[in-house]
Each structure stands twice: as structure tokens, then as C-alpha cells.
Amino acid sequence: MKNVYESPLNARYASDEMQYIFSPNMKFTTWRKLWIALAEAEKELGLNITDEQINQLKSNVNNINYEVAEKYEKQFRHDVMSHVHAYGELCPDAKGIIHLGATSCYVGDNTDVIIMTEGLKLLRNKLLILIKKLSDFALEYKAMPTLGYTHYQPAQLVTVGKRACLWIQELLMDLEDLDHTLDNMKLLGSKGTTGTQASFLNLFDGDHEKVKKLEALIAEKMGFKKVFAVSGQTYPRKLDSRVLGVLSAIAQSAYKFGNDMRLLQSMKEMEEPFEEKQIGSSAMAYKRNPMRCERICSLARYVIIDAINPAITASTQWFERTLDDSANKRISIPEAFLATDAILNIYINVASGFVVYPKVIAKHVMEELPFMATENIMMEAVKRGGDRQELHEQIRTHSMEAGKRVKVDGEKNDLIERIANDPMFGMSLEELNSVLEPKHYIGRCAEQVEEFIENEVKKVLATADVTDIVVDLKV
């Protein structure tokens, strides 16, 4: 029996890939890669650093001696210096040049940017997979009429596929935001204690060009094109707020989808996947609860609220830096990524196994369509010589009576029969029923789906290397 707290994001929800990105191994190997990049760049710019020293650093990049680092941290109360000394024990010939000229934020902040970048890339791939699955679904059901809803009241008909396009469109907006953020991810670079690069200027004997070149070399070695032009001791904490704003936006889109699906499942029109041995309720054996979509909404609510953390942190930093960001960042940023990853995993799982009930959808359509068809009926009666205003009043009266029959008496909607029996309209029941063809009331839904997928979605998917994943939910 486990006797310590374990985050549900690790145990139940997030993928192994995202967990690795925010793991200690990823963090501390990246620190060491940054120290290697710093040493290589300093050597290239003329400092007395040897290939042997760099090779020793490289040979131990993945050999994280955690016990030694923990021993030093108890002594120093400083995580970066504890790892400098631990790395130095493994690389005795190079220990004198590890972290040369740098401050703690050189490894800490640059690593944070690298890790967030990798997290965004993983989420981007999952967004694209999700968009592809929803697009396939939208095309399959592009012309299936279904009730539209405004204010959660029956409105004009749409199609099942058109509604899916609303979900896709929001994800495309999220993808745009994510891509913009990815394109503008910048390393802190090598700025020094207050962002002045004074220590590096001393190292290079006042050579400003070498100091500038150092940053460019480090960025290139770490796979980045840009560094922040100016900074305090840290990169601007506004970057964290921007990144979590993207995650919050993804969560908002997923929440909207999850709510829609929960309502559709309540109406028995669509369902999320339900496994053969799955239990919906411990007491009510017949239940098929929308537990996946409920989980999407639950986690999305967490991410949306969590995005407030870096916003507050960014707005309360003092001058060149304070340390009240650190403990908050260690929790809020990884958990936002893990939760968003879990949301997309579940969303992909649901989109991979939608269950649609066409007969239930058609039944609901036909219960409401007589009300929606009244304008067409009225126009036809006018063509046959009726008075538009008198017909309008008569339809209003019949509609109120038919509505009362449905709502108060629980009976079938008999509006069409009432109109057929009213000589003012002069139309037979057969003629009226010919008006009640749902496909005549969906406007350009099918064409909109086709055009949207062709013009908006395909161009995004065509430029992407979408690697599909099979989402095996942990629980």
C-alpha cells in the first residue's frame, strides 16, 4: 500500500511522454547540455578550455548522480550549485570550467524554456491528430440533419457534421495561438546576474562582439534561433503567462466540446465510447455515464484556473527579479502541461469512437420540424390565394395548441394534422408531409463542412507530420 501522496496527473491522466518532458532526468540532463554548450562556445571564442574537458562533460551528460547532488544541496541550500559540484565529481578534469561566468538562471531559465517548448510540440501533434479525427467524422456526417439549439432550446436544423466543425474551428484557433507562441520561444541566453552580461564581458576582456557571439552560439547549439534581447536575471515571466494562456485556450475548447457531448449523451443522440465491461454506476446498472467527457471538463476547469498563476507571477516581479516565482512555477507550469496533455488524450479517445444514434436524432428532428416548417407551409398557402396575415395568426393559434398538447398532455405533436384539417390552408396531409423533409431545412450545412475542411483544415494537416497515437487511458 502506497503511503505517500502521488499526483493524479502522473498516476491517472498524463502520458508517459509528457511526464518525461517534466521529469528530473529531462531537467538535469538539459542543465548539463547547457553547460556543455557554454563550454564549447567559450572555447570557440578563445577561452582556455580543452576538447578533453568537453568530452568528459559529454560522456557524463546522462549519468546524473542524484545522491551526490542531494548531499550537496543539504549543505549549500542551492540546487544549481549542488549539481555543479555533483557534475564536477564525475568530470574532475572539467570541474573548474563548469558554469564558467554563468548565474543559476543560465541553466534554470534556459531549461524551463526548452522544456516548455518540447511540451508545446507534443501538444501540437496531439491537436493535429484530434483535428484529423474530428474532420473525418464531420465529413461522414456532413448531411445528417439534427436539431440545432440556441439557449438549449430547439432551433433551426443543422447537421451532425456541421456541429463537429464548430469544435474543429476552435481547435484551429488554438493551433494558431500555439504556433505563434512556438515561433516566438526565446532562450534567456547568457545574461549574467542582472542581465548586464558583465561577467562574460570580463571573461572576454571587454570584447563586446564575443559576448554577443556567445549567446548566438549557445542558442544555435540548443536548437533555438532567438534569445531575449534584454532581461533582468530571468527571462520575462510574461512568457510563462503566454504559454499557459495557450493551454487555457485548449482547455476552453475541450470544455465546450465536453459539455456538448454530455448534453447529446443525455438526449441519447451521441455517446462517447463505452467499453463492454464498463460500469456506469455502482447502484444503477443500466447507466452509461459520459465519464470521459466529464473528466475533460474537470481537468479543463483546473487548467483554466491554473493559468492565473503565471499571470500573477508576471505582474508581481520586482525589478530584475524576485524568487517568489520559483516554488509556484515548479507546480503550476508542469501541472498545466500534464493536465492539458491528459485532456487531449481523452478528447482523442472520444473522437476515435463516437457512437451516433441516427434514429433517435431523426425522432427528435421530426418532433420539432412541424413548427419549423410553418413558414414554408404559410408561403405555399399564400401562393394558393390565402391571406398572409390571417394565415400567420391561424398558424400561431395551431402552434400554441400543439405545443400545449406536447408539453402539458405529453402527447404527439399534431400541428400538421391540425393544419391539414383547416380549410383556410387548402392543403392535404400528404402535401404537408412532403414539406417535412429534414434535408430541405439544413441550408448549406453539407457544403459548409466540405468547404471548411478543404479550405481551412486540409492546408493545416498537409503541412504537418501527424503521427497518430493510440490512446490507452490509464483509468
pLDDT single digits (tens) 114-172: 999 999 999 999 999 999 999 999 999 999 999 999 999 999 999 999 999 999 999 99
3-state SS, one letter per residue, for the chain: CCCCCCCHHHHHHCCHHHHHHCCHHHHHHHHHHHHHHHHHHHHHCCCCCCHHHHHHHHHCCCCCCHHHHHHHHHHHCCHHHHHHHHHHHHCCCCCCCCCCCCCHHHHHHHHHHHHHHHHHHHHHHHHHHHHHHHHHHHHHCCCCEEEEEECCEEEEEEEHHHHHHHHHHHHHHHHHHHHHHHHCCCECCCCCCCCCCHHHHHHCCCCHHHHHHHHHHHHHHCCCCCECCCCCCCCCCHHHHHHHHHHHHHHHHHHHHHHHHHHHHHCCCEECCCCCCCCCCCCCCCCCCCHHHHHHHHHHHHHHHHCHHHHHHHHCCCCCCCCCCHHHHHHHHHHHHHHHHHHHHHHHHHHCCCEECHHHHHHHHHHHHHHHCHHHHHHHHHHCCCCHHHHHHHHHHHHHHHHHHHHCCCCCCCHHHHHHCCCCCCCCHHHHHHHCCHHHHCCCHHHHHHHHHHHHHHHHHHCCCCCCCCCCCCC
**Residue 182 binned pLDDT confidence (cut-offs 50, 70, 90):** very high
Residue 392 annotated to the active site = no
**CATH number among 3.90.1150.10, 3.40.640.10, 3.40.50.300, 1.10.40.30, domain 374-435:** 1.10.40.30
- The domain made up of 104-360 has a fold known as Fumarase C; Chain A, domain 2 (1.20.200)
Residues of the chain with CATH 1.20.200.10: 104-360
Looking at the chain, the whole-number percentage of residues with pLDDT higher than 70 is 95
pLDDT of residue 372: 85
Of residues 442 and 288, more confidence is placed in: 442
Domain(s) of CATH 1.10.275.10: residues in the chain:
15-90
pLDDT band of residue 377 (cuts 50, 70, 90) is confident
Q: Class assignment of domain 15-90?
A: mainly alpha
From-to residues of CATH 1.10.40.30 in the chain: 374-435
**Is the pLDDT score of 107 beyond 90?**
yes
Among candidate residues 281, 298, 315, 428, the one labeled active-site is: 281
Q: Is 428 a catalytic residue?
A: no
Give 59's pLDDT tier (boundaries 50, 70, 90). Answer: very high
pLDDT grade for 285, boundaries at 50, 70 and 90: very low
